[in-house]
């Protein structure tokens, strides 16, 4: 029988996860389909129980449900520590929750930077994405600085990590970026339709900085354009993280090796195609 997977969120219509996972199923010749389900926050518990009853094989969870969904699954320890899940697996009978956002970003950074241990990473943002990314960088032995508009949120996140501090977005930011190896934008700043926005300009960057933006629409954000202007050699866009978090979920559900290239191509093609038709925005 055809296996059913999907993503729950609200809004969810513009998620690229269906395009990405269906491309993977097609590439591997699997009899499976991946759909988007809009689930209001108040319906989340019923939706997860209903999915289990219907025999849905696996779900991704996106905004604004990632934190709340933790209460309705058996979460693996890492997801519990991060405080959010983005993946549910139903294969054991009970819903088990995972967080693959951090795994996705770590894979991107390892590919780009090599060893993370001892590196100085500055993360812009203190929301769910920043929580997942900073958790993995911390475990790998990076020295993490959380820079956030709301300083108290930055302080709270930094206090959950082993080797981290925090700053606001003014004053100290310039000096800290100059001293960093890695700069990560984990906020939504620069996402379509606010494509001219960036929290950091070229004059704060240096060529040896690795600059990674989790925003993937547009693929080349203002931050990444500024990085180019500053002569930054290693620039990573948000598509890679989307693909790697999806690939990690795919592996949890199917126990099969995900066809990364086909998944990435499907996402990049869809982004180019949809930009031509100027659709609004995208979510993991």
Q: Which residues bind ligand ATR (CB under 6 A)?
A: 63, 125-130, 148-150, 153, 187-189, 199
We find the least distance from the C-beta atom of residue 167 to ligand ATR, in angstroms, to be: 13
In the bound state with ligand ATR, the residue whose beta carbon lies nearer, of 36 and 146, is 146
We find the least distance from the C-beta atom of residue 94 to ligand ATR, in angstroms, to be: 26
In the bound state with ligand ATR, the residue whose beta carbon lies nearer, of 59 and 124, is 124
Residue 66 falls in the annotated catalytic set: yes
We find the least distance from the C-beta atom of residue 126 to ligand ATR, in angstroms, to be: 4
We find the least distance from the C-beta atom of residue 284 to ligand ATR, in angstroms, to be: 9
In the bound state with ligand ATR, the residue whose beta carbon lies nearer, of 75 and 129, is 129
Give the residue nearest to ligand ATR (CB). 127
Question: Which listed residue (2, 41, 45, 66) is catalytic?
Answer: 66
Render the chain in DSSP notation, one character per residue: --EEEEEEESS-TT-SHHHHHHHHHHHHT-SEEEEEEE--GGGHHHHHHHHHHHT--EEEE-TTSTTGGGGGSEE-HHHHHHT--SEEE-TTSS-EEE--HHHHHHHHHHHHHS--TT-EEEEE--SHHHHHHHHHHHHTT-EEEEE-SSHHHHHHHHHTSSSEEEE-SSTTHHHHHHT-SEEEE-SSTT-TT-TT--SS-GGG--TT-EEEE---SSSS-HHHHHHHHTT-SEEE-HHHHHHHHHHHHHHHHH-S---HHHHHHHHHHHHHHHHHTT------
In the bound state with ligand ATR, the residue whose beta carbon lies nearer, of 32 and 284, is 284
Q: Which residues are catalytic?
A: 66
């Amino acid at each position: 029988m055809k296996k059913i997977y999907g993503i729950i969120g609200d809004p969810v219509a513009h998620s690229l996860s269906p395009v990405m996972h269906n491309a993977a199923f097609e590439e591997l010749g699997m009899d499976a389909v991946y759909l988007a389900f809009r689930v209001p926050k108040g319906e989340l518990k019923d939706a997860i129980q209903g999915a289990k009853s219907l025999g849905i094989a696996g779900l991704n969870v996106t905004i604004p449900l990632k934190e709340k969904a933790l209460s309705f699954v058996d979460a693996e320890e890492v997801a519990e520590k991060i405080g959010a899940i983005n993946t549910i697996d139903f294969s054991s009978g009970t819903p088990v929750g995972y967080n693959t956002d951090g795994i996705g970003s770590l894979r991107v950074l390892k590919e780009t930077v090599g060893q993370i241990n001892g590196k100085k990473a500055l993360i812009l943002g203190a929301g769910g994405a920043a929580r997942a990314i900073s958790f993995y960088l911390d475990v790998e032995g990076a020295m993490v600085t959380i820079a956030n508009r709301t300083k108290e949120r930055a302080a709270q996140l930094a206090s959950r990590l082993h080797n981290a501090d925090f700053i606001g977005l003014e004053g100290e930011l310039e000096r800290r970026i100059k001293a960093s190896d890695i700069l990560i934008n984990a906020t939504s700043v620069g996402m379509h339709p606010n494509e001219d926005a960036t929290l950091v300009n070229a004059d704060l960057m240096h060529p040896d900085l690795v600059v990674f933006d989790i925003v993937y629409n547009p693929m080349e954000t203002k931050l990444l354009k500024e990085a180019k202007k500053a002569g930054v050699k290693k620039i990573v866009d948000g598509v890679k993280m989307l693909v790697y978090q999806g690939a990690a979920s795919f592996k949890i559900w199917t126990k099969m090796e995900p066809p990364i290239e086909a998944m990435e191509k499907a996402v990049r093609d869809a982004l180019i195609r949809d930009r031509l038709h100027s659709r609004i925005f995208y979510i993991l």
